Amino acid sequence: MTTPTTPSTTLAAAPTTAAAPSAPVAVSLVGSTGSIGTQAVEVVRRDPQRFQVVALAAWRSVDLLVQQAHELHPQLVAIGDPALASEVAERLPAGVELAVGADGLVAAARCGEVVVNGVVGFAGLPVTLAALAAGRRLALANKESLIAGAPVVQQVRRTPGAEIVPVDSEHCALHQCLRSGEGPDEVGRLVLTASGGPFRGRRAAELADVGVDEALAHPTWAMGPKITVDSSTLMNKGLEVIEAHELFEIDYDRIEVVIHPQSIVHSMVEFVDGATVAQLSNPDMRLPIGYALAYPRRLEHPFGTLDWTQLRRLDFELPDRGAFRCLALAESAGRQGGLAPAWLNGANEVAVAAFLDGRIGWSTIADVVEDTLGACEQHPVHEVGDVVDADGRARRHAEAVVRRRERAA
Ligand code: MG
């Protein structure tokens, strides 16, 4: 009888996944009352031995923030709007520290081992920077901070201990596909999937009169209003192309977008040998949130699994960049690099807010973004103020375009 020996071709074990953690992971939830934040609370609630919330932060949703504080017993609570500070202070459990204003959110972003950035839009940039500068693992749902702030975020990302684990479902999928450690030189292309949103298949002429309610009726994902409108214009996918470039250091020629209406394949990596690895699951944000919280381990209790008896087909088609111009505009801004993504993002935030307020039509969103991107001024970026300045210039330009288009209507 021979003793079995370990063959020399055995794959190395994935790093640091062996032992279950003994102490709970300290979690800071910034943007705890929004769509991402409330779903993160559901993940934590399911696994109280594993996760301990140490900080909660919200901009102005006092009732829910206070309720979360009573349930989760954090050490720190932050409220962004200073006018609401006294009300929050009166209602917090005894012994909880209160932090106020934008600085309060930054204080929360320095807490814990994992920081969830679920703030909406460019306002999330200080949170991203603070968490990375403090050497935290950043569970990044706020893609705008990485996209617009890339020149400064990439610098602070090199802080020892700092790490970004994407919560955005497509990038979380790519992160999972790349876990075995292949480098950028082994990646043939990243394939980002897009549901296509509520207007998939419509031509430009059929999109002129679509309303806010239609844009907010996403077929597969339940999300906040800003990202849902971005999904309807495909700006969300365009922003995600830039996000993928920044996260995984893959050049734009190797990032593709395909429409996949079932939202089951969350993205794919094609390697240089032609092999494609995909991540599949139900469209449920609690999976990527839990992935980022538990990384490098896996959540033990899934929020649903695929039912292969019900799943009949997976469709893929090319996006229509003529009808959905925001996708092409974002790709163009990404290729320009520098401050162009900040201009693109600032213009888009102004245009989406104007659309949600009923000031402009859906198809005018792309007009506002295109006009603003055409006015983009490139400067060297030395510090965060340079990015904030570019965002401000873009917003002022976009707002002027919105006002012109309002008058013309
Ligand atoms: Mg996404």
How far apart are the CA of 281 and the centre of ligand 1, in A? 14
Q: Is 369 inside a domain boundary? A: yes
Q: Is 38 inside a domain boundary? A: yes
Length of the chain: 409
Over residues 152-156, mean pLDDT: 97
Which of residues 146, 173, 200 is at a domain's end? 173
How far apart are the CA of 73 and the centre of ligand 1, in A? 31
DSSP per-residue letters across 377-395: ------SHHHHHHHHHHHH
pLDDT band (50, 70, 90) for residue 4: very low
Tokens representing 131? 């968490």
Q: Is 189 inside a domain boundary? A: no
Q: Is 337 inside a domain boundary? A: yes
- The domain in which residue 132 lies consists of 6-13+21-173
CA gap 328, 314 in Å, rounded = 25
How far apart are the CA of 240 and the centre of ligand 1, in A? 7
Which of residues 140, 173, 206 is at a domain's end? 173
Which of residues 173, 204, 221 is at a domain's end? 173
pTM for the model: 0.93
pLDDT, tens only, 259-278: 999 999 999 999 999 999 99
Q: Is 333 inside a domain boundary? A: yes
Tokens representing 118? 């679920």
> What pLDDT sits at residue 209?
84
How far apart are the CA of 252 and the centre of ligand 1, in A? 18
How far apart are the CA of 169 and the centre of ligand 1, in A? 5
Q: Is 80 inside a domain boundary? A: yes
How far apart are the CA of 260 and the centre of ligand 1, in A? 13
pLDDT, tens only, 360-399: 999 999 999 999 999 999 999 999 999 999 999 999 999 9
CA gap 294, 314 in Å, rounded = 29
How far apart are the CA of 266 and the centre of ligand 1, in A? 8
How far apart are the CA of 167 and the centre of ligand 1, in A? 8
What CATH number should be reported for the domain holding residue 361?
Answer: 1.10.1740.10
CA gap 77, 274 in Å, rounded = 49
pLDDT band (50, 70, 90) for residue 99: very high
The number of domains in the chain is 2
Q: Is 101 inside a domain boundary? A: yes
Tokens 């996209």 sit on residue: 147
pLDDT, tens only, 313-349: 999 999 999 999 999 999 999 999 999 999 999 999 9
> What pLDDT sits at residue 200?
95
Asked if 194 contacts 258 with a C-beta cutoff of 8 angstroms, the reply is yes
> What pLDDT sits at residue 20?
54
Q: Is 200 inside a domain boundary? A: no
What CATH number should be reported for the domain holding residue 78?
Answer: 3.40.50.720
> What pLDDT sits at residue 21?
53
How far apart are the CA of 229 and the centre of ligand 1, in A? 13
How far apart are the CA of 181 and the centre of ligand 1, in A? 23
